[in-house]
Amino acid sequence: MALSHLQITPDFLRAVRDAVDIVAIASDHTRLRKAGRRWSGLCPLHREKTPSFSVDPEQGLFYCFGCGAGGDGIRLHMALSGDDFPAAVEALARRFGVPIPAAGPARRPRGEEGPDLEPVLSAAQEFFRGELGRSELARSYLARRRVPAELVARFGLGYAPDGWRNLLGALAPRFPVADLLAAGLVARPEGGGEPYDRFRHRLVFPIRDAAGRLVGFGGRALGDDKAKYLNTAETARFHKSALLYGLDQAKRPAREGGRLVLVEGYFDLLAVAAAGEPAVVASMGTALTPEQVRLLARWAEEVVVAYDGDSAGAAAAERALPLLLAERLTVRRARLPAGQDPDSLRLAAGEEALAALLAEAPDFVLLELERLVPADAHRQPHLQARAAAAVTALLTPIPDTVLRYGYGRLAADRLRVPAELLWGRLGVDREGLKPAPSAPRREVGSLDEEVLWLLLRPGGEGLELGELPAPEVFFDAPCRNIYAVYRALYERDGAPPALGEVLAAVAAAGPEVDRLARLLLEREDSPGSTGPMGRLRESLDKLNRRWQKQRLRELATEIHEAARQGDPARLDALLGERDRLNRSLHSLQPPNQGTGSA
């Protein structure tokens, strides 16, 4: 976890960008394949089935032709981890071995206040892992539940020994008690008194966020404790409602397969993983929250709900369904035998039986239609009306009109009523069934982008500083900002700046970095009769003419206004500017070309 308190100088930022392996960053989250000098794969930032994500290791840039996200390795790390810019720079510097400058005043990661808890939590994890190695009882418990050693290591399981102050005694010499309290590792009695270990005689599960950062722990009692499961108390870092256990391990296979299995607890997750399904997460026994659903939707397009096969599990699954549907997820329901959960089913019937049950999970909406609309509902009008209302409540959260329409037709058939009776309730009408108008096509290869691409593309040659126009000739704001940076660096150093210098100068600016990535990865150098330098000068001439014509139109309005107001000094100045622009425009006009817009 980066502390984000370092001084980010231009030289340090350039060193980080030069050291970053953007292919390695992307490969942590999606499978890439070599495609010429670039790499391509499924975009790790949105759900897709056809690869549209491109990475150029030579330029250190990525761009997704599907969602339009782009940038350098720092931007990619920020998008995938949730780090802000300073935290991302520090994290990447540590990962790729860039010496970190002397720190300035401490600054907490975004959303956090108080002490940095990463060292405390990491030390606690090491303590718990060491205690597991020393506890025959804890290891025997794992063996009885047939948890493979590989999964114990992969998920970093540990053991909190029996006793009130074992962890406290091990860590207090190295960390202030206040930090242990802030991390949720120790607690104080309600009436005051000496602090004590929160986890005692429990199997311990480290809990990480989606970026893999340790945020807390969960503990399973190995004795007769009233609370079978206990989690870290809510802290600045640990918010159970916004976390999914195992997501850091599951997100890459979920991205590749498009599916996540959702279970209720730690051992259910281990059971599903042992059955050969790595794309599994747990809601840690809590009711599924909108924050957790958004995490699911970020990494998968289909969710298999594998909650317990009892009434409580069924009720929890039914409550989760509308939340999942609202995020455009396809939802399936693993039909576990009555009274069993994934872990007990694996222990009783084996991994193959659990894997088959997950693979064959039916459409959850169809299961709900069967439950809500009894087979004889059409024989009882009151029951039919109640079922229609329940169906409406079930299907209304579905954002996709066509999908809502499809399920609505099936529901109408089961209710034995004309489908049109449901359309008004479901917000489906003839207008709703018409294809949505296609979004306007984004302009590719604009004149502004053409100039920037020719200035910044690998191997390109810059013009003399005196040949470069003012930034105002760019109409596109991000392109204008990038060009202004380019020109300012040229003026400062007396030589055309390299792409890396421009990237370092625009730093964390979103639109500018995104635009640079798109125009450099989307365009290929197409050979033509005019060489690159000739193309650059031609494009700059067009850019100048376009701006001059625009300025002449503005001057016509301003001249009219100055004459109306009787302002001779301003009128003379405007007329002089108009004459200069007309002469310049005429001198720039290519042979055999009229004065039409470029």
Question: Are 128 and 205 part of one and the same domain?
Answer: yes
7, HSE (Cβ side, Cα atoms, 13 Å): 7
In a domain, 472, yes or no: yes
Identify the band that residue 340 occupies on the pLDDT scale cut at 50, 70 and 90.
very high
3-class DSSP state for residue 261? strand
Tokens encoding 406: 């499809």
In a domain, 597, yes or no: yes
Arithmetic mean of pLDDT over the chain: 83
In a domain, 110, yes or no: no
CATH number of the domain to which 345 belongs: 3.40.1360.10
Task: Read off the pLDDT of each residue in 434-449 and give the average, rounded to a whole number.
Answer: 52
Question: Are 541 and 521 part of one and the same domain?
Answer: no
Q: Which tens digit of pLDDT belongs to each residue from 305-314?
A: 999 999 999 9
* Residue where the block lists tokens 């960008």: 17
pLDDT of residue 13: 82
Question: Are 138 and 220 part of one and the same domain?
Answer: yes
User: Of 283-297, 495-509, 577-591, where does the model show the most confidence?
Assistant: 283-297
State the DSSP code for 175.
Answer: S
Query: 427, exposed or middle or buried, with CB in 10 Å at 0-12, 13-18, 19+?
Result: middle
In a domain, 109, yes or no: no
Question: Are 178 and 199 part of one and the same domain?
Answer: yes
Give the whole-number percent of the chain exceeding pLDDT 90: 37
Question: Are 38 and 73 part of one and the same domain?
Answer: yes
Evaluate whether 366 touches 397 at the Cβ level (below 8 Å).
no
Q: Which tens digit of pLDDT belongs to each residue from 412-421?
A: 899 988 888 8
In a domain, 292, yes or no: yes
Among 238, 264, 291, the domain boundary falls at 238
Contacting residues for 42 by C-beta, under 8 A, at least 6 apart: 30, 31, 48, 49, 51, 52, 53, 255, 256
In a domain, 80, yes or no: yes
- For residue 487, give its domain range: 439-525
Question: Are 391 and 409 part of one and the same domain?
Answer: yes
Give the whole-number percent of the chain exceeding pLDDT 70: 87
Reported residue count of the chain is 598
pLDDT of residue 477: 81
More confident residue, 462 or 273: 273
pLDDT of residue 528: 40
Range name among 4-8, 86-90, 206-210, 372-376 with the lowest pLDDT average:
4-8
3-class DSSP state for residue 351? helix
Of the candidates 324, 342, 331, the residue with the CA atom closest to the CA atom of residue 282? 342
Question: Are 344 and 259 part of one and the same domain?
Answer: yes
Tally the domains of the chain.
6
Range name among 131-145, 233-247, 503-517 with the lowest pLDDT average:
503-517
State the DSSP code for 23.
Answer: H
Question: Are 517 and 537 part of one and the same domain?
Answer: no
Tokens encoding 275: 């059955």
Question: Are 261 and 287 part of one and the same domain?
Answer: yes
Q: Which tens digit of pLDDT belongs to each residue from 126-185?
A: 999 999 999 999 999 999 999 999 999 999 999 999 999 999 999 988 999 999 999 999
In a domain, 509, yes or no: yes
pLDDT of residue 281: 97
Question: Are 197 and 295 part of one and the same domain?
Answer: no
Among 433, 456, 471, the domain boundary falls at 433
Among 525, 541, 567, the domain boundary falls at 525
pTM score, two decimals?
0.66
In a domain, 159, yes or no: yes
Q: How far is residue 598's CA from residue 594's CA, in Å, rounded to a whole number?
A: 10
Question: Are 149 and 210 part of one and the same domain?
Answer: yes
CATH number of the domain to which 30 belongs: 3.90.580.10
Sheet harboring 53-56: ordered strands across?
A: 32-35, 38-41, 53-56, 61-64, 70-72
Question: Are 415 and 376 part of one and the same domain?
Answer: yes
b/e per residue 20-42 (b: at least 16 CB within 10 A): bebbebbbebbebeeeeebbbbb
Q: What backbone torsions phi and psi does residue 441 show, to the nearest 5 degrees?
A: -70, 135
More confident residue, 433 or 538: 538
Q: Which tens digit of pLDDT belongs to each residue from 390-428?
A: 999 999 999 988 898 899 999 889 998 888 888 777 877
